Amino acid sequence: MRTPTRPTIPIAKPQLGEEEAAAAREAILSGWVTQGPRVLAFEAAFGHAVGAAHACAVSNCTTALHLALHVLGVGPGDEVVTVSHSFIATANVVRYCGATPVFVDIDPRTFNIDPAGVEAAITPRTKAIMPVHQMGLPCDLAAVLAVATRHGLPVVEDAACAIGSEIRLADKWERVGRPHGTIACFSFHPRKIVTTGDGGMLTTNDPALDAKVRSLRQHAMSVPDTTRHAAKRVIFEEYPEVGFNYRMTDIQAAVGAVQLRRLPGILARRVELAGRYARALAGLPGLVPPHVPDYARPNYQSYPVRVTADCPVSRNGLMTRLLACMISTRRGIMNAHQEAGYVTAGPYRLPESEAARDGTLLLPLFHSMTDEEQEYVVACLRRATGSAR
């Protein structure tokens, strides 16, 4: 039964407060509101947070991924090995370059790219490999990197959801975004755990690639606007190649800097909430909590639950019952190959990706979620599955 007096528990909620508002106000009143000194400061802070030599802020993660492939020379006739099981932007950016995404199935336990499928998908036309750290859970990057090394291919990490996540490589824990591949790309969309309203970041240890993306995000302008404004002599810029308007604003960066300072507390709370969910789900039939391999420490950007045949109610039925309790959920991650814009590019045989989309739901998880809110979600899950006690 719907409880109209109870506020809906959302699937996600950005936590923005007076400190972020004050930072945005300061940027607005400074007179410099587009890409400027606050963007530069945010880039430095982000690079330090993930351990990257270079970090370049852009307008969103889609533009970050597009720039990454573009500077690596991906173009018409090329192929990029990636997953269908991701937000549509992952596939779209390959198309933006005039290239073809080659979809690989996922590991059903982690919802991440299957490294064995990566090896099998490589052809003479393959120009790059683009794994996704899905829902903040790092993929088996060591295996992907081994394949890339054997074939001499760059790796672009779609780390849109993985701010703060850690991965163990060579018996050492490191943040996603160090980067371990060639370039890693992040999102600051409101559903991510650090938000600037919208925005993105590329990290790399290659200074030449960093210089290239910095130029291209600003129309390939030969002289940055910060240099022109500070110049003591007249300077005329040039545009030696076709670039893009992919800049982040100083207002967004000011908010992002505050959010980034909150990251340790955000991560700790999300891990705590995920642990509470896992313990509660252990006694419920047909509901399987996320699997975390021993090489990964996820940030729990989302909390996926697989609904098996043992569950007394279907996945869609469970979502409907929770919605009646004023609890928002989402289906499993979409598949690009099942969308109209890609369906004619197949046929694809991706049974694990399709099963994950159709047999998984995402439960509410956000770092301002209260214990009482989470207990209510769990209580409704128990009632919906006939497991109330």
CATH number for the 263-384 domain, one of 3.90.1150.10, 3.30.70.360, 3.30.870.10, 1.10.287.610? 3.90.1150.10
Q: Which residue has the tokens 């279907």?
A: 314
User: Catalytic residues, which ones?
Assistant: 192
Residue 321: its pLDDT value, please? 97
% pLDDT > 90, the chain:
90
The pTM for the full model equals: 0.95
Domain ranges of the chain: 18-261, 263-384
% pLDDT > 70, the chain:
98
- CB-based contact 54:205 (threshold 8 Å): yes
In Å, what is the CA distance from 107 to each residue of 130, 214, 230, 276, 342?
15, 35, 52, 25, 22
Average pLDDT, the chain: 95
Residue 343 vs residue 92, higher pLDDT: 92
Residue 1: its pLDDT value, please? 43
- CB-based contact 155:181 (threshold 8 Å): yes
- Sorted by sequence, the CB contacts under 8 Å of residue 244 that are 6+ apart come out as 63, 66, 67, 216, 217, 219
Residue 386: its pLDDT value, please? 85
In Å, what is the CA distance from 312 to each residue of 154, 223, 315?
46, 63, 10
| Residue 195 burial (10 A CB sphere; 0-12, 13-18, 19+) | buried
Spell out a b/e string for 284-315, using b for 16 or more CB atoms within 10 Å of the CB, else e: bebbbbbebbebbbbbbbbbbbbbeeebebeb
Output the CATH code of domain 18-261: 3.40.640.10
pLDDT band at 179 (very low <50, low <70, confident <90, very high): confident
**pLDDT tens by residue, 341-374:** 998 777 889 999 999 999 999 999 999 999 999 9
Mean pLDDT of 52-74: 98
- Whether the pLDDT of residue 224 is over 80: the answer is no
